[in-house]
Chains A and B, each alone.
Chain A
Amino acid sequence: MSAVEAMQTSLAAEHAAVYVHGVLGGQVSRSSDPALADAVEAAYRVHRGRRDQLIRLLRDAGAEPVASEVAYVLPSRVDTAARISAAAREVERRCATTYADQVGRTAAGQRRWAVTALGDAAARQLRFRGSPETFPGAEELADR
């Protein structure tokens, strides 16, 4: 996989993240769980920004950015705060994996964006009741 393909994969993940966080934002109750509502809204904004950055980066690289799907399926029902958190956490976990892969596929001196995005996604997992990991985005390294 080339660096451009890795960026396309990250963009596809961002499209999904924007969609899912948008849906979750509509499900969370701001009055009963303002912290979760804030976290989902903040994550939505970050992913929208990352998506737009990736689109620009890909166009700068002469590639046609991958388009989003019309809709995405959610992992399960998102009718409780716990399920909403779990869905949001899974989005961030998957994005972290994708960013880590992008780091590995990009040349030295051009990885900063993905390194930062990986760190952000790992930190956001904690806002959705996640636990710190030994190797965020690269879980298999923990088994070595």
Chain B
Amino acid sequence: MPRAPHPLSRRTTLAVPAWTVLALTAAGCRWGPEEDASDAAPTSTATPDPQAAGEGSDDATYAAEALAATGDTALLVSEVATTHRGLSTPLAELTALHLAHSRLLQEAVPTPKAATAPRVPRGSRQALALVRTEERRLQRRLGDLADTVESGTFARALASMSAAVGQQLSVLPSDPGRADP
């Protein structure tokens, strides 16, 4: 029995992986349209809307919070990498990530708050553990903010930033001895 078509728009359909479009229907095999993978990305809604998080709005406050949290964590990572040279290479990607996220957030926060200078533990193992703890805290904070802000586009960006921090945590060595070049 043929299935009733579900109420999905063309846009909805395009967001499904292009290579899953081929459906072997009950009526026989058929090839689906060959969509470019770039078509599948919801690009028109994905860019942050600085106005949605503009000055004076609640989202502007949340953007400032996200930027401050990212800045504080970035400064810690930078100080740890400077103090413990053996950690500078594995922490380089984290530094680049925080910089990219900060740049985006600064579009909504013209006057960011200065980052708080961290205390770096003397031992590299403790320093790395502190980085892990603070990165986890940042990941949670960005996720919480994604669930809180009004703007959907801003929420999407924050959720992506949270996921990116999570990825870095997955590849960050747990033992500084294994991080030395």
> In the complex, A80 Cα to B47 Cα: how many Å?
37
**Contact in complex: A104, B156 (CB < 8 Å):** yes
In chain A, positions 58-76 with a C-beta closer than 8 Å to chain B are 64, 66-67, 69-75
Q: Is A142 touching B143 in the complex (CB atoms < 8 A)?
A: no
- A16 to B15: give the CA distance in the assembly, Å: 12
Say which residue of A1, A73, A90, A136 sits within 8 Å of B160 (CB atoms).
A136
Known A100-B46, A109-B147, A114-B159; contact A1-B171, beta-carbon cutoff 8 A:
no
Q: How far is the CB of B104 from chain A (nearest CB, A)?
A: 6
Flag if B42 contacts A141 (CB, 8 Å).
no
Residue of B with least CB distance to A110: B147
How long is the Cα–Cα vector from A133 to B48 in the complex, in angstroms? 18
Point out residues on B near A: beta carbons under 8 Å.
3, 6-9, 11-12, 15-17, 19-26, 40-43, 45-48, 93, 96-97, 100-101, 103-104, 139, 143, 146-150, 152-153, 155-157, 159-164, 166-168, 170-171
With A and B bound together, what is the CA distance between A136 and B171 in angstroms? 15
Is B166 a contact of A111 with CB atoms below 8 Å?
Answer: no
* Binding site secondary structure of chain B: helix
Q: Is B156's CB under 8 angstroms from A103's CB?
A: yes
User: CA A103 – CA B163 in complex, angstroms?
Assistant: 12
A12 to B97, CA, bound (A): 31
Contact flags A105-144 to B (C-beta < 8 A → 1, else 0):
1101111101110110111011000001111111111101
Q: Is A5 within 8 A of B20, CB to CB?
A: no
